[in-house]
Structure 1
Amino acid sequence: MSDLNKRHASTAAVITGGAQGVGLAIAHQLVAEGCRRLVLAGRDAEKGARAVAELAELGGKVRFVPLDLQDVDACLGLIEKAVVELGTVDALVNAAALGARGTLLDTSPELWDEMFATNVRAPFFLMQGFVKHRLTQGGGGAIVNILSQCVHCGQSYLSAYSASKGALATLTKNVANAYRFDRIRCNAILPGWMDTPGEDATQRRYHGATDGWLERAEAAQPMGQLCKPHQLAGLASYLLSPDAGVMTGALIDYDQNVPGAYPE
């Protein structure tokens, strides 16, 4: 095991969804472990500026790039911009996603297309750009995709979302298999219900949540909390690091509830 304070000293990373929530937590973890070269991408320039300032105070050289995940050219261009900015890119985190609600019966074709463009097509072309760059560098590098426990099924109102995350799960394994001889590793984390700013907005928008919803929700969980981004970030950092060794193609459940388990 390498020195945690220096494990990512040579890492040059791109993180989508890096301005808040899981993406920002992973960025913080990488910087804490020595990473000094980061490109964060997301929709909100104001949040991006705040994230850059936070990480700069910790010693990171960080740039925020506005990114529309539904723009394929922008996704491909992100890796190119990051290479110009950082000199190289050897770590990619696909943390950004669309979590809109929709059942089998009320999901429109427009929502379906938006869901798959954001949650599947964007990571596909981001990984395409990343792998192409790594091959020019002789291989090596690591990808972490942030999925969801919805890969296993998902609630009825997350029909299209669950389908998109299931597609990304298969894509994770496909990429891992295709480029294992190039030493490019690709793994995924499947978190359960998470405590993030995005989840707070989602609960209020779609489920009528009021102040105190988080405390009520956590009181009902087996371990008395929702999944926390800063806890998950340690796992992501490990997967991106040389300490993960040959680990590739893994879909790691990250939750306090076990898929396939039933009430006693």
Structure 2
Amino acid sequence: MISARNAETRAIVTGGAQGIGFAVAEALVDEGCRALALVGRDEAKGARAAAALRAKGADVVFIGADISEVAQCQRVVAMAVEALGGVNALVNAAATSARGALTETDEALFDHVFATNVRGPFFLMQGVVRHLLEREAPGSIVNVLSVNIHCGQPFLAAYSASKGALATLTKNTANAYRTNRIRCNAVLPGWMDTEGEDMVQKKWHGASDGWLEKVEAKQPMGKLVKPRELAGLVTYMLSPESGVMTGALVDYDQNVPGIIGE
């Protein structure tokens, strides 16, 4: 039996052409959502993703944009509202995990990471919240963060800091607009099995084909986080079924922060 818990959801999903974003978009459609705007930079991937979801019966548009630029964030919200007849949900899944330790990160890398991971989500949230306030309508936002907000690996200094900033923004937004029935929550996934992670491992860590199987064999539960599994939590947070839940930062990992040793 297919759930209809997101039948009234009209969503913008950034990073929607692949990985977490596409998994969330597909799960939304499977749960009854019939109006979606996917956002990304790769037009070809976006067209394929949109076509796949249209084949499931959804009204889907792909909006090509670089969310690190404020004007493009504003354009995304305006185009989504026009194309879908209004929106009531936003998933900020797009991000960069560019590597750099504190002593290795230059100004350009720092600015790129924060522009993509903080400034973009900030102005997308701003646009969606303004739209909801104008309509006096409820809505739901879910930000995809990372367990790295708890500390982060040394080579993820700027990335960890950016996700920590977005965590604070999540709680601030939840507090500011709760009486308007606009909810804002976040998921904090651990190490994930995505197309992007495969590229990262090969580009930054010299991994070869077969790295995933070797890594997963060493994990407590024998696998990395799968996008489809995480997507179910995101779609629950978006849906009316999550009730009054707002301001929550939910770890989604097999390793528990704070444990020292085994």
TM-score band, normalised by shorter chain? over 0.9
Question: Which residue number corresponds to residue 189 of structure 2?
Answer: 191
* 1:198-235 alpha-carbon deviations (Å, 9 max, x no partner): 00000000000001000001000000000000000000
- Structure 1 residues without counterparts, runs of 5 or longer: none
In the TM superposition, structure 1's runs of 4+ consecutive aligned residues that sit over 3 Å from their partners are none
Aligned equivalents of 1:156, 1:193: Cα separation in 2:
15
Residue by residue over 1:149-192, the C-alpha shift from the partner in whole angstroms, topping out at 9 and shown as x without a partner, is 10001100000000000000000000000000000000000000
Give me the whole-angstrom Cα distance separating, in 2, the residues matched to 1:176 and 1:5. 26
| 2:148 counterpart letter in structure 1 | C
Tell me the residue number matched to 1:45.
Answer: 43
Q: 1: distance between equivalents of 2:243 and 2:77?
A: 24
- What stretches of structure 2 of length at least 5 have no aligned partner? none
Q: After superposition, where does 1:88-167 map in structure 2 within 5 Å?
A: 88-167=86-165
Given the alignment, which residue of 70, 78, 81 partners 1:80?
78
Question: Aligned-residue CA RMSD in angstroms?
Answer: 0.9
Show the 5 A alignment for 1:4-23: 5-23=3-21
The residue number in structure 2 matching 1:34 is: 32
2:58 aligns to what? Answer: 60
User: What is the TM-score when the length of structure 1 is the normalising length?
Assistant: 0.98
Partner-residue secondary structure (3-state), 2:38: strand
The residue that corresponds to 2:249 in the other structure is 251
In structure 2, what is the Cα distance between the partners aligned to 1:10 and 1:185?
Answer: 15
Q: How far apart, in 2, do the equivalents of 1:155 and 1:23 lie?
A: 24
Q: CA deviation at 1:139?
A: 3.1
Task: Tell me the residue number matched to 1:230.
Answer: 228
Q: How far off is 1:106 after superposition?
A: 0.6
TM-superposed deviation, 1:69: 1.4
CA distance in 2 between counterparts of 1:249 and 1:164 reads: 18
TM-score, normalising length: structure 2? 0.99
What is the alpha-carbon distance in structure 2 between the residues aligned to residue 19 and residue 87 of structure 1? 22
CA distance in 2 between counterparts of 1:25 and 1:130 reads 22
The 1-side partners of 2:191 and 2:126 are apart by 29
